[in-house]
Amino acid sequence: VKTAAQWAEFGRDHVCHGLGRLRDHVIVKGSGLDLYTAEGKKLLDFTAGIGVTNLGHCHPHVSRAAAEQVNNLVHLQCSISFHAPYLQLIDRLLPAMPHESLDQFFFWNSGSEAIEAAIKVARQATGRQNMIVFSGAYHGRTMGSGALTRSKPIYTQGTGPLMPGVFSSAFPYWHQLGVSPSTSEEELVRLAEHQLDLILRQQVNPKDVAAIFIEPVQGEGGYVPVPPAFLRHLRDVCDKHGILLVIDEVQSGFFRTGSYFAIEQLTPELRPDILVFAKGVANGFPISGIASNKELMGKLDVGSMGGTYSGNAVACAAGIASQEVYQSGEIGQNVAERSKQLYAVLNGLAESSKTKHLIAQVRGMGLMASIEFRNTSDPLTLEGIPEGTAVPKNIGKRVQEYCLNKDLIILTTSCFDTIRFIPALTVNEEEIDRAMKIFTEAVENVAR
C-alpha cells in the first residue's frame, strides 16, 4: 500500500509531463465545496473543476441518478438507437434554451469536441470554410478548437499547422484594444466593431465566412463580459452576410452568471445559430453538446454526425438530475446573493487606500468574477496611480500562492494578472466569507 506522498511521487513519475498542476495533492473525496486529500487535509475549492461542478462536488441528487442509471444502462451507441436518458435530457434542456429556435441537439463528451461539432456543422451547412474568433478566446485544445483559441500560445505551440481559415478580431476589452481600463463601453464597442469591419474588408470576404464564434463572458481571456451592443452588432453582421453566430457558453452556462445562459441577461432577444454547452450541464459527468435550429441541422447528411460516446447514458442521467436542480429556482437566487457578497469584498479592495494601488479592475457576471491586478510591465494597468507609487511584481501569482498555502484553491486566467472566482453555485455565506478573508489577507500581504 502506498502512502499519499508515495502516490504523489508515482504521479510525478507517470502522469504526462505536459499536464500542469497547481499542487501535488492526491484528492480522494469531494463534497460541496470541500475537497479532501489522501492525508485527510480539507481544501476549500473555489474552482469547481473550472466551472463544472456547479452544484458542488457529489451533489446527492445527481450522484443518486447516476448510480441508478449505472444499473439500468451504461452505454448504447447512439447510431444504433435512441436511448431514454438521451431523449429525456433533451426534453429537460429544451425549455432552458435562450432562444426557442434552438430545438435540435447533438451530444459530445467535452467542450472541445462540441466546438469541433459546431465547426463541422457550420462548414457543412454553409458550404463556407472560414471562421472568425476574438482575441483572448478559449474554445479548446484539439486541432480545430485549438485553432479558434487565442488566449495563450502554449495550448497549441509546436502542434501546427492547425485548421486554416481562422481570423481573429479584437474582443471589446481594453487590453485587447490597447486602451485604458476606464474607456467607456460604448468606445470599446466602437473600436471592436471597427476591427471586425477591417477584417471583413481587407482579409476575408464575408461571403466566405462560415461562422463567428464568441464567448458571452470571455473565460480564459480574463472573465470579461461582452457588451450587449457588440453581440447585437455581431448578429447584424451575420444576418447581412449569411454568417452563422456560434455562442460558446461552455463556461458561462448553467447559472454560472446567474441565469441559465449568460446571453439571456446580456441580450434577451438574441438568436444564436449554434449554442455550445458543456461543463455545468451534468455537474462533472462528461457530456457536452450543441443546440441549433431545424433548418440548419436539416442540411446535414444523415450519418455525418456521431461518435461512440455521444450522449453516454450515465452522463445523460446526471444531466437530467442536474437540470432538475437548476430548474428548482434556488440556484439562480443563490448566485445573485453570493455574488453580491463577493463583489462587495473585491470592490472594497479596489477602493481601499491600503490596496487600491494594486488593482486595475474588478469585473465579471454572477459567480464568474475576477480581479485584475496592475502589472508594471503592462502600462495600461497603471492608469490612475500617483506617480512614484511602487507596484509589486507578479501580484496575481503571489496572491494565488498565499491562498493555496491557506488551503483555498483559486485560479488565475490566461489574461495578464487576473484571478478568477468560480466556486460551486451552491456556495454559502460562510464559505464566501472564509474565502474572501483569506483573499483579502493575501492582497494586503502583497501590499505591505
Q: Cβ closer to ligand PMP: 55 or 115?
A: 115
Confirm or reject binding of residue 138 to ligand PMP (CB under 6 A). Answer: yes
Of the listed pieces 18-26, 107-115, 314-322, 382-390, which binds ligand PMP according to CB under 6 A? 107-115
* Smallest separation (angstroms) from ligand PMP to the CB of 428: 25
Q: Cβ closer to ligand PMP: 248 or 417?
A: 248
* Smallest separation (angstroms) from ligand PMP to the CB of 390: 35
Of the listed pieces 248-256, 305-313, 339-347, 353-361, which binds ligand PMP according to CB under 6 A? 248-256
* Smallest separation (angstroms) from ligand PMP to the CB of 441: 29
Confirm or reject binding of residue 222 to ligand PMP (CB under 6 A). Answer: no
Are the C-beta atoms of residues 370 and 222 closer than 8 Å to each other? Answer: yes
Are the C-beta atoms of residues 366 and 187 closer than 8 Å to each other? Answer: no
Confirm or reject binding of residue 50 to ligand PMP (CB under 6 A). Answer: yes
Confirm or reject binding of residue 162 to ligand PMP (CB under 6 A). Answer: no
Cα distance between the two ends of the chain: 46
Q: Cβ closer to ligand PMP: 284 or 396?
A: 284
Interface mask (CB under 6 A) for ligand PMP, residues 277-316, using x and -? Answer: -x--------------------------------------
Strand 411-412 relative to strand 418-421: parallel, antiparallel, unpaired?
antiparallel
Shortest Cβ contact with ligand PMP: which residue? 111
Strand 104-108 relative to strand 166-169: parallel, antiparallel, unpaired?
unpaired
Confirm or reject binding of residue 139 to ligand PMP (CB under 6 A). Answer: yes
Q: Cβ closer to ligand PMP: 286 or 345?
A: 286
Confirm or reject binding of residue 215 to ligand PMP (CB under 6 A). Answer: yes
Confirm or reject binding of residue 372 to ligand PMP (CB under 6 A). Answer: no
Q: Which one of 45, 248, 264, 431 is in contact with ligand PMP (CB under 6 A)?
A: 248
Confirm or reject binding of residue 369 to ligand PMP (CB under 6 A). Answer: no
Residues 54, 47: Cα–Cα separation, whole Å: 10
Confirm or reject binding of residue 45 to ligand PMP (CB under 6 A). Answer: no
Among 137, 136, 217, smallest CA distance to 176 is for 136
Chain contacts with ligand PMP (rule: CB under 6 A)? 50, 110-112, 115, 138-140, 215, 219, 248, 250-251, 278
